[in-house]
Amino acid sequence: MTSVLRVENLTKRYGRRTALSGCTLDVPVGQVVGLVGPNGAGKSTLLQLACGLLEPTAGVIEVLGERPVSGSARVGFVAQDAPVYAGLTVAEHLRLGARLNPSWDSALAEQRIAQAGLDPSQKAGKLSGGQRANLALTVAAAKRPELLLLDEPVAALDPLARRVFLQALMELVAEQEMTVIMSSHLVSDLQRICDHLIVLVGSRVRLAGDVDDLLASHHRLTGPRRESVDVATHGWTLIEDRHTAAQSTLVVRSTAPIDDPSWRADQLDLEDILLAYLSESAPAAAPERVLEAQR
């Protein structure tokens, strides 16, 4: 098996509102995947479909080669608010996890709790946001899942708590060799830990691919203002264009070197690439462009 998540023409509607529309993805096994997009883009919906909490309206979704089933031992899920039981102690969370999950790794759970500095006798309702997030991560990871889904796990944490959480996450990935899909608005965090990136905008996949490939293939071109640019002639894909009275600036995707001397070509960092795709002025992504970006 080479794909941990495969979706084809996946659509999810809530009444008249479309949360996902015609999404096609193929996420490789063994990577840390960043899921990015503005609020309402469909990130949480995609993760909930992947862990079997929702049923698709149309299309195909396979997780680890199977149809998603809620409560699967092969999939761990931490929702956006890092849900824990306020009235239960840390130790009681671990005992509950052991009862509910046949593959529960007690040694791993106790080790993670100790490393996070959590008091086993303290009730979850008395923990800080970072401590609750680490407890939720521990409970999900101790299932020994093949796929771990994280929905904005660090959104409410301060910078130090985020760093501690992400360090714990990377240690778990290294130890267990599992695949992680994590949604986040924090590009700096994603750039530090992610191998693969998915960008959702307006309920559709705008971009998907390995981070190194995306960084190598996106360029900012700057030159004298021109009324139109025939990007197809150059083999470029236009992502964004901006113009002043004297200058034109393009963001393009090209797998070949930019050798047109009339343009100054600069590499973009991950944040620049994401902002270009998230921009309202970016053209709608054609299916072939999305599929090309996945290769």
Q: What is the pLDDT of residue 150?
A: 94
Q: Letter for the amino acid at 34?
A: G
- CATH code, 11: 3.40.50.300
Rounded to a whole number of angstroms, the distance between the first and last alpha carbons of the chain is 17
Higher local confidence (pLDDT), 140 or 233: 140
Q: Are 29 and 174 in the same domain?
A: yes
Count of structural domains, the chain: 2
pTM, whole model, 2 decimals? 0.86
Domain that holds residue 286: 212-294
For the segment 277-287, the average pLDDT, to the nearest whole number, is: 55
Using the 3D structure, point to which of 164, 182, 202 is the last residue of a domain: 202
Q: Give 175-203 pLDDT, tens digit per residue.
A: 888 899 999 888 888 888 899 999 999 88
Q: What is the pLDDT of residue 35?
A: 95
> Over pLDDT 90: what percentage of the chain?
62
Q: How confident is the model at residue 286 (pLDDT cuts 50, 70, 90)?
A: very low
Q: Are 80 and 155 in the same domain?
A: yes
- Tell me the C-alpha distance between 7 and 26, whole Å: 7
- CATH code, 218: 3.30.70
Q: Are 144 and 244 in the same domain?
A: no
Say if 207 falls within a structural domain: no
Q: What is the pLDDT of residue 1?
A: 56
Question: Is 225 in contact with 244 (CB distance < 8 Å)?
Answer: yes
Q: Give 150-182 pLDDT, tens digit per residue.
A: 998 877 778 888 888 888 888 888 888 889 999
**Average pLDDT of the chain, as a whole number:** 88
